[in-house]
């Protein structure tokens, strides 16, 4: 199976397992991804999702399967289905209610970089390389994914990445904000960071993620909905547990 979901405690891992093709995505993989994402988000035991290569040290994802794409793109129906599937993955991953992390050790290119952009965080090893390469194929990157890129690195760096199609080393990707955390041992960093995520209030994370998305979508001021969200939290079980733990000088245990 080229994609599969595994769980390790409160963390689910969506594994990309096509190392012989440098984890390039074909149509079947784009179609399957949302199903696995939904399973992770619906599991009450899962507090965070990691997207990574099944084979440690291999490419995160080399992008689309060009051999399939080169043939299929001649068929308008296949092309439309392919674009719809990719757009669905990107939109649903970017708006997944629980925290998402891309763990990247090798090349993260094209559609693979798009998947990483749609995650909340990108943890990278020093050998990773990042690139978005439609300019090398005469194609145009989608507006949704271009916005994800601009939101992370700003318009000037986004233009450089898209106009050149160049591969950026991990240290440079980190310097411009494309990579969130860069360490020699990304797996140890992932374990520590995921531990931090699952130790705090999931309700707070989920609602904060909605607030941040509203801001990214252009909202600048509170409305009745955001004010209600703020007020409702004081009556919620997570606030009660957080306050009790603080007063009792213990670590909180959130559902």
CA Rg value for the chain: 19
What is the C-alpha to C-alpha distance for residues 240 and 218, in angstroms, rounded to an integer?
Answer: 32
67 and 140, same domain (yes or no): yes
165 and 81, same domain (yes or no): yes
pTM, full prediction: 0.95
Q: Does any domain span residue 136? A: yes
15 and 119, same domain (yes or no): yes
188 and 208, same domain (yes or no): no
Write down the pLDDT at residue 228: 96
112 and 220, same domain (yes or no): no
Q: Does any domain span residue 232? A: yes
Q: Is residue 230 within 8 Å of 219, Cβ to Cβ? A: no
Write down the pLDDT at residue 193: 98
Q: Is residue 208 within 8 Å of 216, Cβ to Cβ? A: no
DSSP state of 64: B
Q: Does any domain span residue 254? A: no
Residue 228 sits in a domain whose CATH number is 1.10.12.10
193 and 206, same domain (yes or no): no
Domain enclosing residue 218, as ranges: 201-248
Determine if residue 30 is left, alpha or beta; phi over 0 gives left, psi from -120 to 50 gives alpha, anything else beta: alpha
The count of domains in the chain is 2
pLDDT lower than 70: segments of the chain: none
What is the C-alpha to C-alpha distance for residues 34 and 71, in angstroms, rounded to an integer?
Answer: 24
Write down the pLDDT at residue 71: 84
Write down the pLDDT at residue 255: 83
Q: Does any domain span residue 255? A: no
179 and 217, same domain (yes or no): no
Cβ within 8 Å of residue 131, ≥6 positions away: 107, 108, 109, 110, 113, 161, 165, 166, 167, 168
């Amino acid at each position: 199976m080229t994609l599969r979901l595994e769980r390790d405690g409160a963390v689910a891992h969506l594994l990309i397992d096509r190392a012989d093709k440098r984890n390039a995505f074909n149509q079947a993989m784009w179609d399957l991804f949302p199903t696995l994402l939904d399973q992770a988000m619906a599991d009450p035991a899962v507090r965070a999702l990691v997207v990574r290569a099944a084979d440690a040290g291999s490419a995160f994802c080399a992008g689309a399967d060009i051999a399939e794409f080169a043939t299929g793109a001649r068929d308008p129906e296949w092309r439309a289905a392919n674009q719809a599937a990719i757009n669905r993955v990107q939109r649903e991953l970017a708006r997944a209610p629980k925290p998402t992390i891309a763990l990247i050790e090798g090349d993260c290119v094209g559609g693979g970089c798009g998947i990483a952009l749609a995650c909340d965080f990108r943890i990278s090893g020093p050998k990773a390389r990042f690139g978005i390469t439609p300019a090398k194929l005469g194609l145009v990157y989608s507006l949704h994914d271009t916005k994800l890129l601009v939101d992370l690195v700003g318009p000037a760096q986004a233009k450089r990445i898209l106009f050149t199609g160049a591969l950026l080393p991990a240290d440079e990707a980190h310097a411009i904000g494309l990579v969130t955390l860069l360490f020699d041992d990304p797996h140890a960093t992932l374990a520590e960071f995921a531990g931090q995520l699952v130790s705090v209030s999931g309700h707070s994370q989920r609602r904060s993620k909605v607030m941040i998305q509203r801001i990214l979508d252009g909202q600048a001021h509170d409305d009745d909905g955001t004010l209600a969200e703020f007020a409702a939290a004081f009556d919620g079980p997570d606030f009660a547990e957080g306050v009790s733990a603080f007063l009792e000088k213990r670590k909180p245990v959130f559902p």
